[in-house]
C-alpha cells in the first residue's frame, strides 16, 4: 500500500512539473502616456494628474511618460544635467529624464515589455497625434526570422480627447464627453456673467474643424453662456473669436487655455504682458478679462476621458490591463 501511494504521488508531482514547464509565460504589458509636454514646472501638474489617475486605474500595469515635442524634450535633457534643482521644485524624476517615444518604446522592449498601449493626451487628430500613429505603425511592422525576437507583439494607440475619424467610435460622442467634463469652466463664466473664451493650440496641416464643432456643442449644451474657441495656429483665429464676441454683447470674458497643460502659450500668448497677448488685445477692445492659467488635464473628469480611450484601445487590441 505504501509503495502504491509513493507511486501515485510521484505521478502527481511529475504532472505538476510538466504542466509548469508547458505553461506559456505571460507577456509583459505597459502603458505609455504621450504628452506634448511643457517646460513650465507649474504646468506639469496637469500631466502628473493624468498619470496619477491612470496609475490608480491600472495599479499593476507598468506606466511610462513621453513628450512628443522635440523642443520641449531637449530642454528637459539639458535640465537633467542638474536634476537636484528640479527635484527640489517638485518635478518628478520621470519628467526630468523624459525621452521621446521611440527611445521610450525601445527601453520597454529591452525590459521585456511586448504589449504596449500608447495613450496620447493630444486634444484632436493633428500633427503630433499623426506622428504617434506612424511611430506605432512602423514598430508594429517589424518582422524577425524568429518570432520570439520581434520587439513587440502589439502596439495600440488610443484616440485623442476630441476623437478621430472612422466608424468604430463616433467622434461627436467624444466631443460631447469633453464638453460635459468642462462644465466647471461654464459655471465660472456664469458666475461672472461672462463669455468663455478658450485658446487652443491648433495647427497648419490638418483641418481644425473639431474646434468649431466643440464650440457649437458648448453653446448647445449650455446656451446661457456664450463660448468661443480660437487657436494659436490655423483656424479659427482670435480675429474670428472677436467678431463673434462682439455679436454676443458680453463685456466680460473668462479666458482659459483649451490645452492639456498651461505652459508657454497660456502664460505668454494668452495671458502675458506683451501687447499681442490675447488678454491685452481683448482689454484694448473694451472687455474685462478674467484669465485662468490652468490646463484641462488638471480637471479630473477631463483626465478620465483619456483613461476611457486607453481602455478602448486596449480592449480592441486584445491587451489586458491590470
Residue 230 confidence (pLDDT) above 80: yes
Q: How many structural domains compose the chain?
A: 2
Per-residue confidence at 2, pLDDT binned at 50, 70, 90?
low
Note whether 32 and 165 are same-domain residues. Answer: yes
User: Could you report the per-residue pLDDT of 286-305, keeping only the tens digit for each?
Assistant: 999 999 999 999 999 999 99
Which pLDDT score is estimated for 223? 98
Note whether 140 and 53 are same-domain residues. Answer: yes
Residue 309 labeled ligand binder: no
User: Could you report the per-residue pLDDT of 69-84, keeping only the tens digit for each?
Assistant: 999 999 999 999 999 9
Note whether 188 and 262 are same-domain residues. Answer: yes
Alpha carbon distances (Å) from 227 to 5, 148, 185, 188, 230: 80, 53, 10, 12, 10
Per-residue confidence at 18, pLDDT binned at 50, 70, 90?
very low
Note whether 75 and 131 are same-domain residues. Answer: yes
Which pLDDT score is estimated for 204? 87
CATH number at residue 121: 3.40.50.1400
Which pLDDT score is estimated for 115? 98
Residue 27 confidence (pLDDT) above 60: yes
The least confident of 19-28, 126-135, 214-223, 279-288 is: 19-28
Instruction: List Cβ neighbours of 35 (8 Å cut-off, separation of 6 or more).
Output: 47, 50, 65, 66, 67, 68, 120, 121, 260, 261
Residue 166 belongs to what domain range? 28-170+300-316
Note whether 272 and 216 are same-domain residues. Answer: yes
Residue 152 domain flag: yes
Catalytic residues: 201
Residue 12 domain flag: no
Note whether 141 and 230 are same-domain residues. Answer: no
Residue 18 domain flag: no
H or E element in which residue 66 lies:
strand 62-67
Question: String of b and e for 165-174 (b: at least 16 CB within 10 Å)?
Answer: eeeebebeeb
Note whether 164 and 33 are same-domain residues. Answer: yes
Note whether 64 and 149 are same-domain residues. Answer: yes
Note whether 130 and 199 are same-domain residues. Answer: no
Residue 172 labeled ligand binder: no
Residue 265 labeled ligand binder: yes
Residue 208 domain flag: yes
User: Could you report the per-residue pLDDT of 197-226, keeping only the tens digit for each?
Assistant: 999 999 888 889 999 999 999 999 999 999
Cell 460631447, located at residue: 176
Note whether 112 and 150 are same-domain residues. Answer: yes
Amino acid at each position: 500500500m505504501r509503495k502504491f501511494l509513493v507511486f501515485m504521488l510521484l505521478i502527481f508531482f511529475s504532472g505538476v512539473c510538466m504542466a509548469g514547464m508547458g505553461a506559456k509565460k505571460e507577456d509583459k504589458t505597459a502603458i505609455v502616456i504621450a504628452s506634448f509636454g511643457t517646460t513650465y514646472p507649474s504646468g506639469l501638474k496637469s500631466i502628473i494628474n493624468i498619470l496619477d489617475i491612470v496609475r490608480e486605474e491600472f495599479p499593476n500595469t507598468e506606466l511610462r511618460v513621453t513628450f512628443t515635442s522635440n523642443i520641449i524634450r531637449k530642454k528637459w535633457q539639458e535640465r537633467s544635467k542638474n536634476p537636484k534643482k528640479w527635484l527640489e521644485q517638485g518635478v518628478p524624476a520621470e519628467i526630468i529624464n523624459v525621452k521621446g517615444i521611440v527611445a521610450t518604446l525601445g527601453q520597454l522592449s529591452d525590459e521585456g515589455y511586448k504589449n504596449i498601449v500608447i495613450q496620447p493626451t493630444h486634444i484632436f487628430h493633428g500633427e503630433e497625434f499623426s506622428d504617434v500613429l506612424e511611430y506605432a505603425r512602423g514598430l508594429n511592422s517589424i518582422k524577425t526570422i524568429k518570432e520570439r525576437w520581434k520587439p513587440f507583439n502589439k502596439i495600440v494607440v488610443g484616440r485623442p480627447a476630441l476623437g478621430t475619424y472612422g466608424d468604430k467610435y463616433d467622434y461627436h460622442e467624444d466631443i460631447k464627453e469633453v464638453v460635459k467634463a468642462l462644465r466647471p469652466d461654464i459655471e465660472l463664466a456664469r458666475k461672472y456673467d461672462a463669455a468663455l473664451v478658450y485658446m487652443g493650440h491648433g495647427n497648419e496641416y490638418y483641418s481644425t474643424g473639431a474646434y468649431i464643432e466643440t464650440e457649437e456643442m458648448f453653446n448647445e449644451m449650455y446656451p446661457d453662456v456664450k463660448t468661443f474657441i480660437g487657436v494659436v495656429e490655423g483656424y479659427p483665429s482670435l480675429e474670428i473669436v472677436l467678431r463673434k464676441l462682439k455679436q454676443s454683447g458680453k463685456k466680460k470674458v473668462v479666458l482659459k487655455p483649451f490645452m492639456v497643460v498651461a505652459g508657454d502659450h497660456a502664460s505668454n500668448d494668452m495671458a502675458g504682458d506683451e501687447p499681442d497677448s490675447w488678454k491685452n488685445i481683448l482689454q484694448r477692445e473694451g472687455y474685462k478679462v478674467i484669465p485662468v492659467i490652468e490646463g484641462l488635464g488638471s480637471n479630473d473628469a477631463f483626465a478620465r476621458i483619456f483613461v476611457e480611450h486607453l481602455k478602448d484601445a486596449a480592449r480592441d487590441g486584445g491587451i489586458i490591463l491590470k
